[in-house]
Amino acid sequence: MVGGNAIRGTRVGAGPSGESERGESAPRRRISYWCANGHESRPSFSMDAEVPEEWDCPRCGLPGGQDAKNPPAAPRTEPYKTHLAYVKERRSDADGEAILAEALERLRQRRQI
């Protein structure tokens, strides 16, 4: 005997599918968006819904606009910064040398005791 479910391909409680069973769908409109790579996506919106100015491209993830000749620019992503890079932004080389000299002096005093 083959193991399996006799109700294959449906879920429990699922009725017949079709427009007449679910009611009429809301009127829709399709809007075209183009990304910087030239991909076109056409999501559908309800007629009374507010249409966004930008839509993320499902192929490459870049933002897309409604003007095919002038798509929005790709967002600029900041590279990962190390702890040292943040410290160098806050302190000058002279500050670093002063802090190092102070730390070395404390270390030398501890060793003499």
Q: Is 19 left (phi over 0), alpha (psi -120 to 50) or beta?
A: alpha
- 35 marked as part of a ligand binding site: yes
**Is the torsion defined by CA of 60, 62, 64, 68 positive or negative?**
negative
- 8 marked as part of a ligand binding site: no
- 60 marked as part of a ligand binding site: yes
Cβ-Cβ contacts under 8 Å for 12 (sequence gap 6 or more): none
Q: How far apart are CA 30 and CA 66, in angstroms?
A: 12
User: Annotated binding site for Zn(2+), which residues?
Assistant: 35, 39, 57, 60
User: Annotated binding site, which residues?
Assistant: 35, 39, 57, 60
